[in-house]
Structure 1
Amino acid sequence: MDLGLNGRTVLVTAGSGDGVGSATARAFAAEGARVAITYHTRPEAARAVARDIETLGGEALVLPYALGDLASVEAAVETVLDRWGSLDALVANATYGPVLAPGPFEEVPPAAWQPKMRSDIGGTYRTTQLAVAAMRKTGWGRIVYVSSTGWVSGRAGRTAYQPAMATTKAALHGLARSLAVELGRDGILVNVVSPGAIDGSRLRARLGDQAVKGLAEASATGRISRPEDVAAAIVFLCSTANQNITGIDLPVDGASR
């Protein structure tokens, strides 16, 4: 299937490392897209992904980007437009990184959780505004927010990070649905992809192999998703093959129970 992405310009936030962002960047490059990837603290990791893209024969652009710094957000999008003249697809994958200190929810001070709210919601909102302005000029665009199935199910634990994460992810769903209605007749489709657990070194280090095996056994497919599974869903939703899917939340979790 020709996904119609050859020569398209894509911005993938948080495209460094070995997770969903980098897998998505490589998947777009394999389709012939020009890919801008952002990093916050790991420029070398981002440059390694860019080298992979260039090895595939694609064009890559590496950009610093901090969700909590609107000047950084604006500079990143402006650089993409200066370099390539358009922005066809936005994959909003970045999230505020520091894990909040453990403790009962009611004892967490506002200063501990407000930066995540401000960054994840405000930074993503501003990135989207700039992307939409560029897409309206061409009458075509695709936006995918990377969320998590955890915002629906909730997660137990004595840490403020989980409710904060669920809150900011839920905000993306509301934003996506509203924008889908507002932008559909402008040729811009807006969706959410919600991974479940993602197999990889970080998950195994945090949970252990036995727990990861348990997650796989709880899935209808007998395994948990890899970054490439999520990337494939994102690329399809951002492609010309997607002509009328907008405003949805697509779980990529193997129908985990």
Structure 2
Amino acid sequence: MRLAGKNMLVTGGASGIGLATVTRCLKEGANVVLSDLDSSDGAARAQALNDAAAPHGGRCLFVPCDVAHTQQVGELVDETVAQLGRLDAVFNNAGVAAGAPAHATDDATWLHVIDINLNGVFRVARAVLPVLYKQRSGNIVNCASILGVLGQSGTAAYASAKAGVVNLTRTLALEAAPLGVRVNAIGPGYIDTPLIKHLEPAQREALIRLHPLGRLGRDEEVANAVLFLASDEASFVTGTCLLVDGGFTAGKS
């Protein structure tokens, strides 16, 4: 198994890409702390995974955290290390979706999206890095987006936050490399998760047409990319943003 005996923390782990990653990494032998808001289904998800047949049983722990709060992030990392003894990989995935053109984005919306999607990634990385530096090993995978590498109308706050995640990833990778720690990001395209279930059929078809592969992505496909970056198979990969986008960013045919 590709993560046998490894300890992993996943934020935003109660649904969508986060939950798919928790499940995938458990299957590959990791011990996983699933973190999400206290009001989420995280505790029930972790319990269900532990109650399932092998190989999940007993290796998934729920620890609540709101990444908008520095104290909670610190407590999450402390609890993770206390429970698992060490930390080998972090999937920095917690985030919120938002869509509005710049002129219709008020301060509260802008600040909320930036605070969760960019500042939250920074808070988790800042809390985790001293642990990894002390070990002189481990890695972080940040969740960016296709909108971190190109623009799209109606996404001013979200795209700005995700672009920040991409360059934060590069900067952290440079700082961490001499201490034996890798930092990467993933950039999902439009993934068929609960975040887009509200779309009308015509809107969904329009999104599908933007992907040369002719469909939306699946959350397990993104989880596979996180697994690769978090594993020793990516031991010479740092500072990159791996796009999992069905060709969305390749250009126009």
2:11 to 10, 13, 25: 13
Identity over aligned residues, as a percent?
29
Please tell me whether the aligned partners of residues 26 and 52 of structure 1 are also in contact (alpha carbons under 8 angstroms): no
- Tell me if 1:57 matches 2:55: yes
| 1:1-257 equivalences in 2 (<5 Å) | 2-3=1-2, 5-17=3-15, 19-40=16-37, 42-43=39-40, 45-54=41-50, 55=52, 56-58=54-56, 59-96=59-96, 99=98, 105-106=102-103, 108-157=105-154, 162-206=155-199, 208-256=200-248, 257=252
DSSP-derived class of the 2:133 partner: helix
**TM-score, length-scaled by structure 2:** 0.88
Stretches of structure 1 that go unaligned for 5 or more consecutive residues are none
Structure 1: which 4+ aligned runs deviate by more than 3 Å? Answer: 106-109, 213-218
Residues 156/109 of structure 1: CA separation in 2 closer, same or farther (3 Å cut): closer
Amino acid at match of 1:165: Y
- Residues 194-240 of structure 1, C-alpha deviation per residue, up to 9 Å, x if partnerless? 0010114542422x334434433443323221000000000110001
Please list every run of 5 or more consecutive structure 2 residues that lacks an aligned counterpart in the other structure.
none
AA partner of residue 61 (structure 1): L
Tell me the alpha carbon deviations over residues 50-71 of structure 1, each in whole angstroms, 9 at most, x when there is no partner: 1343224331111111121111
- Cα deviations across residues 117-154 of structure 1 (Å, max 9, x unaligned)? 23433332121122111112222111111111123332
Alpha-carbon distance, 1:169 to partner: 0.9
How many residues align structurally? 245
Query: What is the CA RMSD across the aligned residues, in angstroms?
Result: 2.1
TM-score (norm 1): 0.86
